[in-house]
Amino acid sequence: MDQAIFENGVKEVQLLPAYDDEHEGVVVEMDTLMDSNDFNVILRYSLSQWKLQGKKGVWLKLPIELVNLVEVAVKEGFLYHHAEPHYLMLVYWIPDTLSTIPANATHRVRIGAIIMNDKRELLVVQEKYGCFKGTGIWKIPTGIVEEGEDIFSGVIREVKEETGIDAEFLDVVAFRQTHKYFFGKSELFFLCMLRPLSFDIQKQDSEIEAVQWMPIVEYASQSFAKDSIFKYVNDICLAKVDKHYTGFTQLPITSFFNDKVSYLYVNKHDLNM
Amino acid sequence: MDQAIFENGVKEVQLLPAYDDEHEGVVVEMDTLMDSNDFNVILRYSLSQWKLQGKKGVWLKLPIELVNLVEVAVKEGFLYHHAEPHYLMLVYWIPDTLSTIPANATHRVRIGAIIMNDKRELLVVQEKYGCFKGTGIWKIPTGIVEEGEDIFSGVIREVKEETGIDAEFLDVVAFRQTHKYFFGKSELFFLCMLRPLSFDIQKQDSEIEAVQWMPIVEYASQSFAKDSIFKYVNDICLAKVDKHYTGFTQLPITSFFNDKVSYLYVNKHDLNM
């Protein structure tokens, strides 16, 4: 390991433990407590070495327990990249050329569940919090897809949590991309069609004010703009009742590089599957 | 404004400037330099007051210039929520009940462009960096959708940047959700069909090794697993040539609450539009 002698109390300076990434950069994942002055010396030395080696991006992951090192890193020129509750990722771009540091996650993923019973009734809720609070509007159940959760699983979970209804995922019938939705971030909202497997409502008290099966005509009679998503939920409902609307259904696919399975959503009908 | 007298040099303590959010919480956006000890006193006092007022989540936005305040906030119990290059957002959940703090952005959005000319040739590239580097694989042009960018715009921009080809967006023909893709985050990859408006290739040198129009049969003859996305790109190409594959096309819609336009992607064909 590279070493150097410094005069300010630190006898031997090693490079920070780092591994190479696929883009000619290095990744440092700090995991032991360190005095911020010691860290400063080692960080400076490491950066100088990486510069000589022609490295590009330097990633620095600091667990929240090492919050004392954040200020040092920023003063050496690091910028924030992203954060999760218990860590902060910083990044330093060494070359004089334009940074090709990849962007942070930009989108939250939310789902909405269109569930009809065979009486042409739609499962709808009124929410206790958020924008629709107090508007009297009945809307389809919606929720945030959790980290690592598939869309087709998330929508089933949210419906069960909010309404007590068990349901089967059919397809994604539409999606909406909205910008500057929260903290300047964007949102992808997937409208999913589900088939109910149970019908007795059990309301979640913490977030939901009311739940009911509502005739589609009644849902459609609420006062929405003609170009609102509510109008399209209604149109798609009716097209689905008439069995002539095809959305995207999930197919398991494997990665080119490993055995990891992920899901591709396609128009299976048009692929004759 | 609430005030208090402290003994440690700070004469009057005001609450941190804050505004209420829609979920019974408060948001503090710090914008002036402050000594970290002074900040500590004011932060403690503010938290005690907000506790008395029954507030729930406390959001604290610190520009990178105020990095000296990060350690204080964490030691008072704040966790990180998210970060962008020039700021860090922290959050503190006051009640004893389970936190309902919304999740950070979880997904990156990437696009892939399927572009065929009328000779049944597909526009394909070889990349200089990333997983496919050195594999010899010809793949469709792909890229990251930028913050605030629509999918249908992002895919046109990426194709132009990488290959010099002008193109028109037709529809989203499939999408894939992948987890633990970068830093534990997920990715949504939208496969888009485009119609070429120009045909002369101008390669981008920084990221692209080679570009060509490749006969679809040749693309399909590369060695991919039968359940890989490459196989479905080929299947969808062929279905499109035969004009029997319908994807999702964007429609402008307006918000229930304001005049903001966003785009809903639907199967227009099946809605008889």
Tens of pLDDT along A139-155?
A: 999 999 998 999 999 99
- For residue B260, pLDDT over 90 is answered with no
Interface test with B, best of A205, A262, A268, A269 (most B CBs within 10 A): A262
Mean pLDDT, chain B, whole residue set = 91
CB pair distance less than 8 Å for A67 and B82 = no
Bridge partners, residue A175, by sequence: A190, B265
pLDDT digits (tens, 9 = 90+) for B201-211: 999 888 899 99
* Contact residues for B154 (Cβ-Cβ < 8 A; gap 6+): B109, B111, B143, B144, B145, B146
DSSP state, A15?
P
Q: Give the per-residue pLDDT at B94.
A: 95
Q: Give the per-residue pLDDT at B135.
A: 86
Average pLDDT over residues B108-134: 92
Q: Give the per-residue pLDDT at B145.
A: 94
CB pair distance less than 8 Å for A266 and B232 = yes
C-alpha distance from A257 to closest chain B C-alpha (Å): 8
This complex has an ipTM of 0.86
Q: CB-CB: which of B105, B131, B228 is closest to A105? A: B105
- For residue B2, pLDDT over 50 is answered with no
CB pair distance less than 8 Å for B248 and A175 = yes
User: Which band of pLDDT confidence, cut at 50, 70 and 90, is reported for residue B226?
Assistant: confident
Q: Give the per-residue pLDDT at A7.
A: 53
| The overall pTM is greater than 0.95 | no
Q: Give the per-residue pLDDT at B8.
A: 54
CA distances from residue B180 to B144, B201, B234 in whole angstroms, order as listed: 16, 34, 26
C-alpha distance from B70 to closest chain A C-alpha (Å): 7
Does the CA dihedral A80-A81-A85-A87 come out positive or negative? negative
Does the CA dihedral A101-A65-B44-B46 come out positive or negative? positive
Q: Give the per-residue pLDDT at A2.
A: 44
pLDDT digits (tens, 9 = 90+) for A75-124: 999 999 999 999 999 999 999 887 878 778 999 999 999 999 999 999 99
Average pLDDT over residues B2-27: 74
- For residue B182, pLDDT over 90 is answered with no
Q: Which residues of chain A have pLDDT under 50?
A: 1-5
Length of chain B: 273
Residue of B nearest to A85 (CA): B80
Where residue A54 falls (left for φ over 0; alpha for ψ -120 to 50; beta otherwise) is: left
Q: CB-CB: which of B71, B83, B100 is closest to A83? A: B83
- For residue B1, pLDDT over 50 is answered with no
- For residue B35, pLDDT over 50 is answered with yes
Residue of B nearest to A223 (CA): B256
User: Which band of pLDDT confidence, cut at 50, 70 and 90, is reported for residue B102?
Assistant: confident
CB pair distance less than 8 Å for A148 and B244 = no
CB pairs under 8 A between A and B: 261
Residue of A nearest to B91 (CA): A85
Residue A89 parent element (H or E): strand A87-93
